[in-house]
Structure 1
């Protein structure tokens, strides 16, 4: 039996990631994998979207700039450098136990990796990794690392993917961004999980404003901003899950 610590879309919420890992005993005082994680008793799955804070307020907190302006090149470079520094720390953690720490490729990671699309909305565009818009390019070291991220992981019949269990929900092309299905498939087609042969599925991408949602045979866990992650106990026969609350920063020793 293994314990899986599944953490929803990161979006540069780096302190919360480390608090979740500390709370689950997956990381040691040295910021490296704990002994249970190194031995494979634990597994860590990050659901992707490591980059791009969700809100302008999150960019302000990340950069320390109260007047953060997503069109100001200096501010963009500050946001990029802050994320790069933390991504290098996560890379060091993941590469210390690569068999047991999986980071899934999210659509925001893919967009930064390829540079093909500027993501965002009318209120906020994520420009910090677009040199042509005043940002900086993701370093090649991190690009190469992003390229190793799988689009899904299967453990004991449980499917983990950033969006959903079918190929067209794991392909971040123009059709992906023009369709409502990536955000809504689980409302009408929750049976995708069973139809693909899985006994359960764990997914991110769709923001869960009321916290993690477990529905039928799937869990939607993009709820890091609600201070939650999911733990599962798995083997060939067992499948137990628990929604875990991340403790406040004052209770963490990291």
Structure 2
């Protein structure tokens, strides 16, 4: 039997992330992997977007700076330092999990690594803290190498894990990706795309689920960007990994 615990986008909400991790039987109160985690029969998947708080208020809370200004290099440096510190903490846990913890590359992670696109949010926030051309700072080399190694998808049998969705273009964060809203709406309009690409079940983040994890009526798709709603997903696979796993939504105190 294989169990996978899937956790949605982080966006520098580190408190929510650690509470979610510790709500599983895989990470202890000190942030270390348990014996179950090291067994290989239990796996963790994070859907990516580790960085970039969603609102200016969250930037202020993270940095301790009132009226955080995304154009102020000193403010940006503080935001970068705070996230780098937490990324290093997460990397220590990741390394200790001995290959049983997986983090998908999100579009925000990709943008911060490549500087090809300057991202913001629907809340008027600009994410410049990792872009030196805008007054931010680069990732330390060790963190950069680690994040560049994040996969764009993980496939277990016929169950698909990715940041956005099942289409190959959903994992290419280019001009086309940012020119359309389809990457935010496909799961409502075309949940059958999961089956069209040969999967029996798909697990995705990227789109905030304010009311908690969403699964379509036929249980083909789980949209799990629901950390702030206090929910993660548990999948139990039978001996035949090509079959649809049993999905269960778990709640934790957010």
The reply to whether TM is greater than 0.5 is yes
1:124 match:
125
Q: Normalising by structure 1, what TM-score?
A: 0.93
Cα-to-partner distance string for 1:73-108 (whole Å, 9 max, x where unaligned): 111111100000000111111122242111000000
Matched, 1:52 2:49: no
1:35 match:
35
Q: Counterparts of 1:201 and 1:74 in 2: how far apart (Å)?
A: 41
Moved more, 45-54 or 183-192: 183-192
Q: Counterparts of 2:62 and 2:2 in 1: how far apart (Å)?
A: 34
Which 4+ residue blocks in structure 1 deviate beyond 4 angstroms? none
2:166 match:
165
Task: Structure 1 unaligned segments of length 5 or more: list them.
Answer: 249-254
SS at match of 1:84: helix
Root-mean-square deviation (Å): 1.4
Moved more, 197-206 or 88-97: 88-97
Instruction: Give the Å deviation of 1:238.
Output: 6.1
* Aligned residues of 2:159 and 2:244 also touching (Cα < 8 A): no
Matched, 1:245 2:246: no
2:20 match:
20
2:224 match:
221
Matched, 1:2 2:23: no
Instruction: Give the Å deviation of 1:149.
Output: 0.5
Cα-to-partner distance string for 1:22-79 (whole Å, 9 max, x where unaligned): 1112112442211101111211000000000111121122112232121211111111
Q: Counterparts of 1:110 and 1:205 in 2: how far apart (Å)?
A: 13
Paired positions, count: 248
Task: Structure 2 unaligned segments of length 5 or more: list them.
Answer: none
2:182 match:
181
* Aligned residues of 1:156 and 1:234 also touching (Cα < 8 A): no
Q: Normalising by structure 2, what TM-score?
A: 0.93
Moved more, 23-32 or 217-226: 23-32
SS at match of 1:226: coil
Instruction: Give the Å deviation of 1:118.
Output: 1.0
1:252 match:
none
* Aligned residues of 2:158 and 2:244 also touching (Cα < 8 A): no
Change (3 A) 1:72 1:4: same
